[in-house]
Amino acid sequence: MVQVSRMVTQLNSAWVESINLLEQAGWGVKRNDPPRQMPRPIHKLFEWVPMDLRRFTECYEELSSPDMKSWLLTEAEFSGRSPSAFAWNEFERQSLEVAGKDKAETARVTAFWKAHFPLLLSVKSGYGYYAMKREDLSIVHGEGPNYEDTTVIAPTFEAFLALIVAGDAAITDWV
């Protein structure tokens, strides 16, 4: 097993175990050792996100599916250091482009994304994502072209990781 930093071992043990299982299943896993802090503007924008989830993203450089068509967002994406062609806020950008000069629609899109912390992006079955919803910290799924129309997938991040590890049918189109 790869030696991990003290910070990673302080994370939710179920999360670490899930990542270890994904790595064994062929996921690309690169750890930040030591962890790298998310940029201050991202931290400020998502100050409502639980600290342990922010720490989780800071402990990893890469978390990508074996086919590289879906990936959990890490500090590298939020810092702009990832080689991915997609920005961490790619789908918000696309929605804002569609909104154009419509101020009401722009405000709606912006408010939506301030209340949703993106966790995973996917190009497996089109463009889709999973995000944590500020209101209750549940995990929702959205897809293009109407990214802001979402469906609750899991009550917690831990439950979401368990779905990924299990290859649950509810998410196999995207992960």
**pLDDT at site 127:** 97
Q: What's 6-166's CATH class?
A: alpha beta
- Cα–Cα distance measured from residue 175 to residue 170, given in angstroms and rounded to the nearest whole number: 10
Specify whether the CB–CB gap between 133 and 121 falls below 8 A. no
Check pLDDT > 60 for residue 9. Answer: no
Task: Give me the pLDDT at residue 10, please.
Answer: 61
What average pLDDT does the structure give for the chain? 93
Residue 4: pLDDT band by 50, 70, 90 thresholds? very low
Q: What is the 3-state secondary structure (H, E, C) of the chain?
A: CCCCCHHHHCCCHHHHHHHHHHHHCCCEEEECCCCCCCCHHHHHHCCCCCHHHHHHHHCEEEEECCCCCEEECCHHHHHCCCCCCCCCCHHHHHHHHHHCCCHHHHHHHHHHHHCEEEEEEECCCCCEEEEEECCCCCEEEEECCCCCCEEEEECCHHHHHHHHHHCCCCCCCCC
pLDDT bucket at 155, cuts 50 / 70 / 90: very high
Q: What is the pLDDT of residue 14?
A: 84
pTM: 0.92
Q: How confident is the model at residue 1 (pLDDT cuts 50, 70, 90)?
A: very low
Average pLDDT of the segment spanning 44-63: 95
pLDDT at 115 over 50: yes
Q: Using a pLDDT cut of 70, give the percent of the chain over it.
A: 94
